[in-house]
Chain A
Amino acid sequence: MLTLFASAILASTITGSLCGVAGVFVAKLRLSTLTFAVAHAALCGAALGLFLETDPVITAVVLAVATSLVLGPLIDVTGIPSDTLAMVLFSVYNALTFIFIFFSPGPALAAEKVGGILWGSVLAVTKTYLIALFALLYVYLFSLLILWSRFQSILFDRRLVEAEGVNTKPYIYLLMLLTGIVISIALRIVGGFLVFSLLYIPAACGFTACNFKKITLVSALIGGLAGSLGVVTSFAFNFPVGTCIVITAALIFTVVVVCSNIKKKKLFREISKTT
């Protein structure tokens, strides 16, 4: 039987790694605004869970998955730019979130639970949550393993791959679906306000690497590291876990950027010496 601390470390490491990989994909596909919509769908779903007095994770996953499934085809059918459509949904979900929170039964219970949704909680890491997380990790890794070459081509130039006879829509929809699930699962640990940070900070670190495999790997490692160190900090200082994870990720990002710049300068010096 795992202790709460060990469960939290395990869950945040996996969540951080998954968010890191998902962040690389959405950033490379320029789907960042779509993740806003999906993340706020998850937030709205969690608030709906409070309102209905059911498990917020389930309602968050349902709404996030539904949104990621609908968004892609909706953009393709309506022809409305993805950013515009995503921001419309983002606003609607924000409004609905506040309505559900406002009408949630029991003020004391709601405040504690609302806090958990907005800035995360290690108490959310239950046995069921860990099983769901491992299942997601398995599906994500399996998809990457099978479709890695295809994903690479699409990430490089989606239009060119389409011109070469590949229908890219199912792949994009799959990536959006996986991202939606990752966000809704991560939401319980890092919270609705901070989930983007865990998506994009590890990815930003990853983009300092020189090839795509390394970019993905570095993002996953840094996401996992930020997750585990964040939980340790949270337990040590009794701070909200989401905040600790994000601040740790930001600190790692600063170190990575500084190291990357030092490396570049060193390389320039070596080149100027040899020429």
Chain B
Amino acid sequence: MGSRTAPREALHHTGRIAVELRDVATAYAGEKKPAIKNITLSIKKGEYVLITGPNGAGKTTLLETILGILKPCRGIVKVLGFDMSRKPYRARVFCSYVPQDFIKPPEEPFKVREVVAMGIASNKPLGKLSEKDWSFVDNALEMFGISDLKDRPIGRLSGGQQQKVFLARALCRKPEILLLDEPFSSLDDDSRKLVSDILYRLNIEGKTILLVCHAPPELKGVSMQVHMVNGVIDEVKTC
């Protein structure tokens, strides 16, 4: 149960492609019509991909299919060279995910610092953290301007503050690929700017970013825009 991390050096052998989907279709249990279909997409390492589209277009389904949370009924999904139908956990170690439905109820007892630390703990055998790991946690909290909230239970925070906590958790894992589902949905204008600046800097540092947003703010550095409609890719624009 404990030993599960793949060495980061292993990534040097996975080529230049970060995410690859070949003729992928995903259907929810009990549904006859797939939520996404005919998805063929190749995303190189270091790309900043914005996935847009109206409600129900299949943006979240696409993101969760890439991560292997949803199993495709057809096609092949590869992340950093790992076949997601066979080795999803190997690839996920190098990914960070911020879900759309992140809000925790007021009675949630875990403190902000603990929640952010859990991101790093997922990559550690048995989840034990070192002093250095805790300093990464504190840096991530500082980056999002939420250091003063570190000892507060996450359930007592506002939606925007909780969203920043999840973004800090995603970042402190030092992922190769960031998969963000509507990361601006609960943020105010200043916070949106802060987050988009952070994402821009991370992309410059070489991180691959897949960002789902139905109404994106002004984003710097986006290299590819994928527009989805009715579960299919309607348009791919290289920026």
Tell me, yes or no, whether B60 is within 8 Å of chain A by CB: no
Q: Which of B86-131 contact A (CB under 8 A)?
A: 89-97, 99, 107-111, 114-115, 118-119, 121-124, 126-129
Question: What residues on B are CB-neighbors of A167 within 8 Å?
Answer: 1, 4, 89
Report how far A244 CA is from B92 CA in the complex, Å. Answer: 50
Within 8 A of B (CB), among A2-17: none
Cα of A130 to Cα of B67 in the assembled complex, Å? 48
Quick one: which of B69-92 are within 8 Å of A by CB? Answer: 69, 89-92
Check if B192 is an interface residue, CB within 8 A of chain A. no
Which of A146, A166, A210 contacts B109, CB < 8 Å?
A210
Contact B99–A159 (Cβ < 8 Å): yes
A150 touching B126, Cβ below 8 Å = yes
Chain B residues near A160 (CB, 8 Å)? 97, 99
Taking the closest CB of chain B, its distance from the CB of A167, in whole angstroms, is 5
Asked if B10 is at the interface of the complex by the 8 Å CB criterion, the answer is: no
Q: Is B145 an interface residue (CB 8 A)?
A: no
CB distance A162 to B126 under 8 Å?
Answer: no
- Per a CB cutoff under 8 Å, which of B1, B97, B119 touches A170? B1
Residue B29 at the A interface, CB < 8 A?
A: yes
Are A166 and B115 in contact, CB atoms less than 8 angstroms apart?
no
In the complex, A166 Cα to B99 Cα: how many Å?
16
Contact between B110 and A211, CB atoms less than 8 A apart: yes
Report the nearest A residue to B170, measured CB to CB: A164
How far does the alpha carbon of A273 sit from the alpha carbon of B83 in the complex, in Å?
60
Q: Are B109 and A211 in touch, CB under 8 angstroms?
A: yes
Given known A-B contacts A149-B121, A210-B153, A166 and B89 have beta carbons under 8 A apart: yes
Interfacial chain A residues near B4, Cβ < 8 Å: 165-167
Tell me whether A156 is interfacial, beta carbon within 8 Å.
yes
| Cβ distance A67 to chain B, nearest Cβ, rounded Å | 22
Minimum distance in angstroms from B68 CB to a CB of chain A: 9
- Contact of A268 with B by CB under 8 A: no
Give the residues from 141 to 166 in chain A that come closer than 8 angstroms, CB to CB, to chain B.
146-150, 152-153, 156, 159-166
Contact: A159 with B123, CB < 8 Å?
A: no
- A151 to B68, alpha carbons, bound, how many Å? 22
Per-residue A-contact encoding for B122-164, CB less than 8 Å = 1, 0 else = 1110111100000000000000000000000100000000000
Interface pair B153/A164, CB less than 8 Å apart: no
Partner of A164, one of B29, B109, B173: B173
CA distance A156 to B90 in the complex (A): 22
A79 at the interface (CB under 8 A from B): yes
Interface residues on B, range: 35 or more
Interface centre among A153, A159, A207, A215 (most CB of B within 10 A): A153
Determine if A163 and B89 form an interchain contact, defined as CB atoms under 8 angstroms apart: no
Contacts of A134 in B (CB 8 A): none
Interface string of A81-113 (1 = CB under 8 A from B): 000000000000000000000000000000000
Partner of B95, one of A149, A165, A174: A165
Contacts of B107 in A (CB 8 A): 207
Q: Known A153-B122, A164-B97, A167-B4; judge A159-B69 contact (CB<8 A).
A: yes
Nearest CB to that of B125 among chain A residues? A150
Residues in B whose Cβ lies below 8 Å from that of A147: 1, 126-127
Pair A165/B121 contact, Cβ less than 8 Å: no
Q: Are the C-beta atoms of B1 and A156 separated by less than 8 Å?
A: no
Chain A residues, Cβ within 8 Å of B93: 164-165
Interchain nearest-CB distance for A175 vs B (Å) = 12
Bound together, the chains give a CA A91 to CA B137 distance in angstroms of 48
Q: By the criterion CB–CB under 8 Å, are A164 and B115 in contact?
A: no
Query: Chain A nearest CB: distance from B10 CB in Å?
Result: 13
Question: For the complex, is A209 an interface residue (Cβ under 8 Å from B)?
Answer: yes
Contacts of B153 in A (CB 8 A): 210-211
Chain A CB count within 10 A is highest, among B67, B107, B122, B153, for B122
A interface residues, Cβ below 8 angstroms from B: 79, 146-150, 152-153, 156, 159-167, 170-171, 174, 207, 209-212, 215
Q: Which 5 A-B pairs have the closest CB atoms?
A: A149-B127, A165-B92, A164-B122, A165-B93, A150-B127
Known: A153-B127, A164-B122, A165-B89. 18 other contacts (CB 8 A): A79-B29, A147-B126, A149-B124, A149-B127, A149-B128, A150-B126, A152-B114, A156-B114, A160-B97, A160-B99, A163-B97, A164-B93, A165-B91, A165-B92, A166-B89, A167-B1, A207-B109, A210-B109
25 pairs of residues in contact across A and B, judged by CB atoms under 8 Å: A148-B127, A149-B118, A149-B124, A150-B1, A150-B121, A152-B118, A152-B127, A153-B127, A156-B108, A156-B115, A159-B69, A160-B97, A160-B99, A163-B97, A164-B122, A165-B92, A165-B93, A165-B94, A166-B4, A166-B122, A167-B89, A209-B109, A211-B109, A211-B110, A212-B109
